[in-house]
């Protein structure tokens, strides 16, 4: 059962949600099913730091919550 990070398009909450089978994830804050799965970066064993993810466009970088306003 994988654990994924999602951002809710309705309340903009960022949550880690355990996904079981074919269940659709739901925002624990507002109950919306309008979630966007976030990319994950895993650090290789023995690495000093995790790989860097792309920083996104200027409008995404300017937001404190990391939510893309174009979604």
d(CA 32, CA 11): 8
Specify whether the CB–CB gap between 7 and 14 falls below 8 A. Answer: yes
Question: What residue ranges define each of the domains in the chain, with the CATH number in brackets?
Answer: 1-39 (2.20.28)
Question: pTM for the complete prediction?
Answer: 0.54
User: pLDDT digit of tens for each residue in the chain (71 aa)?
Assistant: 578 899 999 999 999 998 888 888 999 999 999 999 988 666 556 555 544 545 556 556 555 565 665 55
Tokens coding 40: 């994950």
């Amino acid at each position: 059962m994988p654990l994924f990070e999602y951002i809710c398009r309705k309340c903009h909450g960022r949550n880690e949600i355990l996904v079981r089978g074919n269940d659709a994830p739901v925002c624990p804050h507002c109950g919306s099913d309008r979630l966007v799965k976030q990319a994950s970066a895993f650090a290789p064993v023995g690495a000093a730091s995790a790989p860097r993810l792309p920083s996104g466009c200027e409008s995404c970088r300017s937001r404190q919550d990391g939510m893309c306003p174009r979604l």
